[in-house]
Structure 1
Amino acid sequence: MKLLRVGPPGRERPAIIDPNGEPRDVSDLIDDWDGLTLDDVVLNQLRKIDLTTLPSLDPAERIGPCVTGVGKFVCIGLNYADHAAETGADVPAEPVIFFKATSAICGPDDKLEIPRRSEKTDWEVELGVVIGKEAKYVSEADALDHIAGYCVVHDVSERAFQLEGTGQWVKGKSADTFGPIGPWLVTRDEVEDPQKLSMWLDVNDEAMQRGSTATMVFGVSHLVSYLSQYMSLQPGDIISTGTPPGVGLSMTPPRFLRAGDVVTLGIEGLGTQRQVCINA
């Protein structure tokens, strides 16, 4: 299933895409897509419903973040071998973990704000993993059972904030609008293999990133298991799993986003995003 949330910011309603590709309102059935409704019991009940009988929605209505009430927004750095190579960094021996503030989360097509004092706002298309069942000390073999589904994440980064001065990654990753998620949360049964998804990102219709989750250093199962050894992963938590090559920082000369730029990105089977850049 493809789950989404539609409506003005802060007033989104839960929705679902029917077999004909039309958005349908499910707010009479559930309160929202969050940690309470992403478990297998709720999702299996929805699979039994004829979705075409649900109220239809205007396809032009704003799409919000595909999940709400996110407790943790965990990110993995340097997790693509080809991206590590373009930055001149060694492939890490174990996952590099950092966090993005949940206040950065926004809809997939919302405006992207260039922060005040920003000189190096950069782009990163990433596969997002949304937890559906608590994961604590889980094995790699059981890890996928704890996933509700997958989504597109744009891990927007301000490189000067991230790497210069004291070099705190969370500071360069957490500005408002730096975490577009969606358009859909695609349930795990629709993603045959999360390690075989093509992904792309363009700026002003110019190709920047072209990659595949096949080149991840640490795959989805490993990441869920690994993280669960150090913290419990709760329903609704998001793991952003790293980016393929083609970021602005690694270009010669480096290239960064400015007001007026348009960023489009997507992942095979998970939908697309489009953001117009504005000054904060």
Structure 2
Amino acid sequence: MRAAVSLLRNSFGFARIHAKASPLEKIGWEQMKNNPLEPIISSCHSEYHIPKCRFMQYIRSGDTNKRLGMVSENGSKMIELSSKTCASPDMVSFIQQRYCMKSLISSAQFMEVDDVKQDLRLLPPIDSPGKIIGVGCNYYDGCNERHESIPKTPEFFVKFGTSITGALDNIRAHQIAKRIDYGCELAVVIGKKCRHVSRNAAMSCVFGYMIAQDINARDWNVLQGGQTMLGKSLDTFCPLGPVIVHKSHVPDVNNLWIKTIVNGEQRQCGNTKNMIFKIDYLIHRLSQFMTLCPGDIILTGTPAGSGAYRNPSSFLKPGDLVESEIQKLGKMRNKVVNPYA
């Protein structure tokens, strides 16, 4: 577990271990002995060791109860909220409780701060959303590489909750999918129930942000009659994590860099400022058609560099290691395995 804990301790956040993850020996931990990210903030700044509104779900060693905690920005310190406050151990229920984040931060200075233990087993930051809604072709550079015109309105799709997997969990290369692609995306977590919300009020409905990989069976999207829902909803095709960062810690969500690295090669390098339809518009648009609820997830699109549009194309296969990063939100590492691993 020491290698996994070292991965937690970096200035962007931390990846996690799913309670149902495969044994560590199967995940390629030799590649993870060193800190994968050089800290960008000096360790002398003590505020980066203070747990803030970066939320995780986890299980203690030898326990079976899901718990909720906050971790510091460098991933070394944590506070368990579910045993020290009235906070629910379930992330969706916690969001529904509508805690005041300023009060929570103020109260945290009086709570016991623990080290992030090596035997901690972290769960998905959110594992039971009511909806997972994605938007296709939402980056200018993505449209350019596809040789497509800029869309006038967003085109939405859905993924199902059973596709969720963790920030260090395996992605299964299902035999039914022959052309498996990747796409790192900023995921928005809805904080309150909303319907017919105006664009000006839309950001008040956001709870926070996390990283998502929109793993996608391109052959089902295109070659099998446009079965987008099936191609995007296979089990393990939605890695999420490593934490949910409250919106108060992300002052400019429209200027965050995004990266995907496959087997050490950088495949995607974009920035959220290149989104065609910004988060406020996406929430406004969706709320005209449906009620958005606490814990719902909106995937906001992926920048250029997906495997299908490389020359030659490059799809994922068993043995590949996919690393996903978004500024301020953390990093994920997912190994692609055969469906029976």
Which region of structure 1 is more displaced relative to structure 2, 127-136 or 35-44? 35-44
The 3-state SS of whatever aligns with 2:220 is: helix
Distance apart, 1:11 and its partner CA: 5.5
Distance apart, 1:123 and its partner CA: 0.6
Aligned counterpart, 1:23 = 78
1:187-202 superposed matches below 5 A: 187-202=246-261
Distance apart, 1:252 and its partner CA: 1.2
1:14 counterpart = 2:73? no
The 3-state SS of whatever aligns with 1:184 is: strand
250, 270, 275: which one aligns with 1:211: 270
In the alignment, is the contact (CA less than 8 A) between 1:136 and 1:229 conserved in 2? Answer: yes
| Mapped partners of 1:228, 1:61: distance in 2 | 38
The structure that has the greater radius of gyration is: 2
In the alignment, is the contact (CA less than 8 A) between 2:127 and 2:161 conserved in 1? Answer: no
Does the C-alpha gap of structure 1 residues 19 and 107 become closer, same or farther in structure 2, counting only changes over 3 Å?
closer
Distance apart, 1:175 and its partner CA: 0.8
Deviations 1:92-112 (A, max 9, x none): 110110000111011111111
Does the C-alpha gap of structure 1 residues 264 and 12 become closer, same or farther in structure 2, counting only changes over 3 Å?
farther
The 3-state SS of whatever aligns with 2:94 is: coil
Kindly provide the amino acid, as one letter, of the partner of residue 24 in structure 1: I
1:4 counterpart = 2:59? no
In the alignment, is the contact (CA less than 8 A) between 1:26 and 1:54 conserved in 2? Answer: no
Aligned counterpart, 2:305 = 246
| Mapped partners of 1:60, 1:157: distance in 2 | 32
Distance apart, 1:56 and its partner CA: 4.4
Aligned counterpart, 1:93 = 152
Distance apart, 1:243 and its partner CA: 0.1
Does the C-alpha gap of structure 1 residues 3 and 76 become closer, same or farther in structure 2, counting only changes over 3 Å?
same
Does the C-alpha gap of structure 1 residues 20 and 119 become closer, same or farther in structure 2, counting only changes over 3 Å?
closer
Aligned counterpart, 1:34 = 91
Distance apart, 1:20 and its partner CA: 6.2
| Mapped partners of 2:169, 2:252: distance in 1 | 29
1:133 counterpart = 2:133? no
238, 249, 273: which one aligns with 1:179: 238
| Mapped partners of 2:98, 2:273: distance in 1 | 31
The 3-state SS of whatever aligns with 1:265 is: strand
Kindly provide the amino acid, as one letter, of the partner of residue 15 in structure 1: G
Aligned counterpart, 2:219 = 160
211, 227, 230: which one aligns with 2:289: 230
47, 50, 53: which one aligns with 2:108: 50
| Mapped partners of 1:223, 1:59: distance in 2 | 39
Distance apart, 1:14 and its partner CA: 1.4
In the alignment, is the contact (CA less than 8 A) between 2:181 and 2:316 conserved in 1? Answer: yes
1:65 counterpart = 2:124? yes
| Mapped partners of 1:48, 1:40: distance in 2 | 17
In the alignment, is the contact (CA less than 8 A) between 1:133 and 1:235 conserved in 2? Answer: yes
Aligned counterpart, 1:279 = 338
Deviations 1:149-193 (A, max 9, x none): 001011111100121121121111001111111101000111111
Distance apart, 1:31 and its partner CA: 2.6
| Mapped partners of 2:213, 2:80: distance in 1 | 26
Unpaired runs of 5+ in structure 1?
none
The 3-state SS of whatever aligns with 1:46 is: helix
Deviations 1:185-226 (A, max 9, x none): 000111111110101000001000000001100001111111
The 3-state SS of whatever aligns with 1:199 is: strand
Kindly provide the amino acid, as one letter, of the partner of residue 25 in structure 1: E
Distance apart, 1:76 and its partner CA: 0.5
| Mapped partners of 2:186, 2:296: distance in 1 | 14
Deviations 1:118-155 (A, max 9, x none): 21111100000000111211111111100000010111
Count how many residue pairs are aligned between Structure 1 and Structure 2. Answer: 279
In the alignment, is the contact (CA less than 8 A) between 1:64 and 1:106 conserved in 2? Answer: no
Percent pairwise identity: 31
